[in-house]
Amino acid sequence: MLKKLLVLLVMAVPVAGICAPGGNKKKEEPVVHLTDEQIYEELKKLAMVFEVARENFVEEADEKKMLEGAMNGMLGALDPHSSYLSADDFKDFNDKSHGEFGGLGIQITSDRGAVRVIAPIDDTPAEKAGIKAGDYITHIDNEQVFDMTLNQATQKMKGRPGTKVKLKVVSDGQEPRDVTLKRAIIKVKSVKYEDKQLADDDSENPDKIGYIRISDFGATTTKELKEAIDALEKKNVIGYVLDVRNNPGGYLTAAIDVSDAFLDGGEIVSTRGKGKTDIERSFAKPGDRTNGKPIVVLINHGSASASEIVAGALQDNGRALVMGSQSFGKGSVQQQKPLGDGTAIHITIARYYTPSGRSIQNEGITPDIEVLHSKVEVLEKKESMYSEASFKNSLKNETAKKKADKKDKDDEQKEELSDEEKDALDYQLQRGMDMVRAMAKMKARAVVVPVGATGEQMSTDGKGDKPAPDSDMRAENKESETKKK
């Protein structure tokens, strides 16, 4: 029995040896490599541990569980993202990647023995229960997670749709709280879109801003994004807000395709593996689906992995402004390596780098403009008590009654916020749309360029027979200066 185990373990060594150590260490430590003879001695010891434990444990030992635990421990020692996938785990992983699975709708990672939330998925039991990025889960159905692997914790949270599970959740600066969630079939539509307008834009023809929300990067994301852009372009939006807040990532290929949709060229991302020459670079193809319109990318501490690739690619290529808060900092590439019997290992094989050569790992993406999640508080009323309307006998506005009727209707619906009201309270979104509008106006002004030394300007359409609006003012000032002299 011992000899057979040793043979199997030795055969497994090349598979486990393809990975570079994880980049999650705080301090780089030199790796001491073992000789073949030393590796054999350690594997022999592992087999002896298995035999002694199986023979002496107080209860009947579950050999399969013991061996799976050994493989999980081996991979977990590399970094938080490498693990052994049983046949069920591997099947569940593939189901998630294709857009539908059962559970709570929560992306998690292992952190100091606890389970940390990377991000909840939109419109799922976890998101509706108020679980947020950065929360820690310490108990599942009153059982501590500290002795569980990440896969075991995931399995305990999954179950038949309609059944309930209780989590103990710890949020930053708050007391631990118990949250009971009802499991559901999680259908992930990764892209949502609509044309929006700024909350304070009361003009007759408000600017339309294309809003695209990507909740994760799955097999259908590229197709959904192209459909979203095409639909918004038909509505003549002036620019785009790409919202990847609380997006935990997904397929690398999807992140590359999403970036490519907004770029007309340039590098998107590079991945660098264990060897010095093990570098792969991905480039954008010609053709920007948004026709060069302004883009603002919204990120926060729940934006991870593929989200950071997109934000970094658009930022480094000068294609978009990134707004929000520092992203999560997961800059490593995982791959599934099937073992031939329905099982696999999920293992870190490389690191991500942005086009400028920045490593995302442990650092994340720094926004161009930091806009923290804030509560909007109005300090100045639109309708001041000191205005034309405050004067006695001032002329009335014939549309005032319509506005008053609208205000009364809004007061009646205060209990349930509309989508527009929710948008108005989303400070980061409002500032993002504000920036898109400003960038669009700057671009429109750039269409008019100065020619000659006369102070006149000519539009780029070549007509050039109409002076700029401010040229009369300059001429008038010049005449005034002459009189003074």
Ranges of each domain in the chain:
2-88, 100-187, 191-329+364-370, 448-477
pLDDT tens, residue by residue, 427-477 = 899 999 999 999 998 888 876 555 554 444 444 444 444 444 444 434 444
Instruction: Please report, rounded to a whole number, the percentage of residues in the chain having pLDDT higher than 70.
Output: 76
Look at residue 298 and give its three-state secondary structure.
strand
> Quick check: helix, strand or coil at residue 266?
coil
Q: What angle do CA 369, 372, 377 make, to 5 degrees?
A: 115
Mean pLDDT of the chain: 81
Other beta carbons within 10 Å of 226? 15
Nearest residue to 308 (alpha-carbon basis) of 277, 333, 288:
333
Helices 306-316 and 252-262 cross at an angle (nearest 10°) of 30
| Whether 314 contacts 258, CB under 8 Å | no
Rounded mean pLDDT, 6-10: 42
pLDDT at 409 over 60: no
The number of residues making up the chain comes to 485
Question: Among this protein's residues, is 330 annotated catalytic?
Answer: yes
Write the single-letter amino acid at 464.
G
Catalytic residue list contains 316 = yes
| pLDDT greater at residue 367 or residue 480 | 367
Q: State the Cα–Cα distance between residues 327 and 463, nearest whole angstrom.
A: 48
Mean pLDDT of the region 6-23: 38
The answer on pLDDT for 298 being more than 80 is yes
Alpha-carbon gap, residue 20 to 370, rounded angstroms: 34
Do 121 and 215 touch, CB atoms closer than 8 A? yes
284 or 98, higher pLDDT: 284
| Active-site annotation holder among 260, 316, 423, 434 | 316
Token duo for residue 220: 């259908």
Beta bridge partners of 209: 196
Alpha-helix residue ranges (DSSP H) falling in 378-467: 400-412, 419-425, 427-445
DSSP-derived pairing of the beta strands 240-243 and 295-299: parallel
CA-derived radius of gyration, the chain: 29
pLDDT at position 271 is 94
Banded pLDDT at 201 (limits 50, 70, 90)? confident
Query: What is the pTM (predicted TM-score) of this model?
Result: 0.68
Tokens of 368: 């161009």
DSSP annotation string for 8-33: HHHHHHHHHTTSPPPTT-SS-----P
Residue 160 or 435, more confident: 435
Helices 63-76/36-56 angle, 10° precision? 140
pLDDT tens across 116-150, in order?
A: 998 888 888 999 999 998 899 999 999 998 878 78
Distance separating alpha carbons of residues 331 and 306, to the nearest angstrom = 9
Per DSSP, the three-state class of 403 is helix
Q: In this structure, what DSSP letter does residue 227 have? A: H
Give the integer Cα–Cα distance in Å for 355 and 368. Answer: 16
Fold classified for 100-187 = Pdz3 Domain (2.30.42)
Tokens representing residue 310 in the block? 């997109």
Sheet containing strand 295-299, strands side by side? 191-196, 209-214, 240-243, 295-299, 321-324, 369-370
Residue 10 predicted with pLDDT over 60: no
What local confidence, expressed as pLDDT, does residue 459 receive? 42
Contact 103, 132 (CB under 8 A): no
For the ranges 65-74, 130-139, 177-186, 400-409, the lowest mean pLDDT is seen at 400-409
CA gap 24, 363 in Å, rounded: 11
* CATH superfamily of domain region 191-329+364-370: 2-enoyl-CoA Hydratase; Chain A, domain 1 (3.90.226.10)
- 141-145, 259-263, 357-361, 444-448 — which is least confidently predicted? 444-448
pLDDT score recorded for residue 416: 64
What DSSP character marks residue 41?
Answer: H
Q: Is 338 exposed, middle or buried (0-12, 13-18, 19+ CB in 10 A)?
A: exposed
Asked if 78 contacts 116 with a C-beta cutoff of 8 angstroms, the reply is no
Tokens 């598979």 belong to which residue? 15
pLDDT value, residue 407:
52
Tally of CB atoms within 10 A around 382: 8
Round to whole Å and give the CA distance between 208 and 231.
13
Which position among 259, 282, 305, 307 bears the catalytic label? 305
From 82, 190, 330, 332, the catalytic residue:
330
